[in-house]
Amino acid sequence: MKQIFIYALTFMAVMLPTLFFVVLSDRPEREKEKKESLPLLFRLVKPATDLLEAAGTGTLIRTFLPGHSLALQKTLTFAALKLSVAAVYCTQLFLGVVFALAAALVTSLLVEQENRMSILVAALIAALIGGSLPGIVIGNLAQARRMAILKAIPYSIDLIASAMRGGLDFSAAIRFYVKLGIAGPLTEEYSQMLREMELGVIRTTALQNMAERIQIREFTSFAAAVVLGTELGAPLTDTMEIQGEEMRKARFALAECKAQRAPSLMLLPMALFILPAVFIIILTPVFLKMKEAGVPLF
C-alpha cells in the first residue's frame, strides 16, 4: 500500500508543474470562448465557495483584514476579474482545508505510528500551499494584463497622436483607436473611458479614472501630462509624442532588465536537471572501474 502512495506522490511531483503552468495559470490567450469567464481554479471550486460566501465567511474575514482586502480589491480590478474579495477569501479557505485534509490522509498512511507529528506538519504546509494558489493565479493574470497594456501603450499613443494631427480632437482620436478593433486590455480600458465621457464625465477626469484602474506608473504620468497640457492650453500632439517616446524607452529598459535576469533564473533548472545528469555521466564510469577493482565505496 505504501508503494502505491509513493508512486502516486512521484507522479504528482512530475505532473504538478504542468498542471500549474498549463491549467491553473489560465492565460488570457486561452480564454477566447468568454472574456469575462473566471479562471479555471475558481470555476472548479465555485459551488463550495458560494456556500461559504452565503454563510458570511468571506465577509467576516474581510472585516478582520481591511488593509489586505483593499490591496486585493485593487489587484482584482487591475486583473479585470469579476470576483469579490469575499469570494477570494472563501476560495483560499476551502482550498486550504481540502489540501490540508488530503495531505494529512496521505501522510497518515505513509508514516509509522511514532511519527504522527509529521501529519500535522504536512497538513500545515499543504494548507499554506492551497491557500496561496488563488493569490498566485490572480497575480499571474494581473501581471499578464499589465505586460499587455505596457506593450500596447506606445503604439496607441502614436495612433491617437496621428489621428489628432489629421484633424480629430482627443476624444474622437481615442474613438478612432477603439474602432480599429485592436484586441487587448488597453482597448477595453479606452472603451470604458469613452462610456464614462458619454455619461457626462469630463475628459481629464475620465482619463485619470482610467489611470487609477490600470495602475501603471507610465500611463499615470501620461495622463498627468495630458491633463496639465489641457489646463495650460499646450498642443496635445506634442505632449503625446514626447510621452510616447518616453514610454518606448521605458519598455526597452524593461526588456533589458528581463534579459539581465535570465542568467540568474537559469541557475535553478540547471542545478536541478542539468548538473545531476552531467555528474551521472562523468562519475558512472569511475564508479564502475572502482567497483571492478574491488575498491570499497560504501
pLDDT tens for 44-70 read 888 888 888 888 888 888 888 888 888
- Round to whole Å and give the CA distance between 7 and 178: 54
3-state secondary structure of 296: coil
- Round to whole Å and give the CA distance between 83 and 58: 12
Q: Which of 139-143, 166-170, 253-257 has the highest mean pLDDT?
A: 139-143
Average pLDDT over residues 201-230: 83
Q: Please give the pLDDT value at position 3.
A: 54
Which residues are CB-contacts of 7 (< 8 A; sequence separation ≥ 6)?
Answer: none
Domain(s) of CATH 1.20.81: residues in the chain: 149-252
281 or 1, which is more confident = 281
Long-range contacts of 42-51 (CB under 8 A, 24+ apart): 42/83, 42/87, 42/91, 42/134, 42/137, 45/91, 45/94, 45/95, 48/94, 49/87, 49/90, 49/91, 49/94
Query: Is the pLDDT reported for residue 264 higher than 50?
Result: yes
Q: Please name the amino acid found at residue 91.
A: T
Nearest CA to 76 out of 67, 87, 66, 65 is that of 87
Angle CA(143)–CA(196)–CA(183) in degrees, nearest 5? 45
Angle CA(144)–CA(148)–CA(153) in degrees, nearest 5? 150
Handedness of CA 81, 86, 90, 92 (dihedral sign): positive
Query: Is the pLDDT reported for residue 22 higher than 60?
Result: no
Name the pTM for this structure: 0.68
Query: Is the pLDDT reported for residue 5 higher than 60?
Result: no
Handedness of CA 215, 76, 144, 195 (dihedral sign): negative
Cell of 209: 479614472
Question: Which CATH architecture describes the domain 149-252?
Answer: Up-down Bundle (1.20)
Q: Model confidence over 72-90: pLDDT tens digits?
A: 888 888 887 888 888 899 9
3-state secondary structure of 158: helix
Q: Please give the pLDDT value at position 30.
A: 45
**Please, are residues 227 and 208 in contact by the beta-carbon 8 Å criterion?**
yes
Torsion of CA 55, 57, 62, 65, to 10 degrees: 160
- Round to whole Å and give the CA distance between 45 and 47: 6
The pLDDT confidence band at residue 128, using thresholds 50, 70 and 90, is very high
33 or 98, which is more confident = 98
**Please, are residues 115 and 81 in contact by the beta-carbon 8 Å criterion?**
no
- Round to whole Å and give the CA distance between 206 and 192: 9
Average pLDDT over residues 176-183: 83
44 or 5, which is more confident = 44
Torsion of CA 142, 146, 148, 151, to 10 degrees: -170
Query: Is the pLDDT reported for residue 31 higher than 70?
Result: no
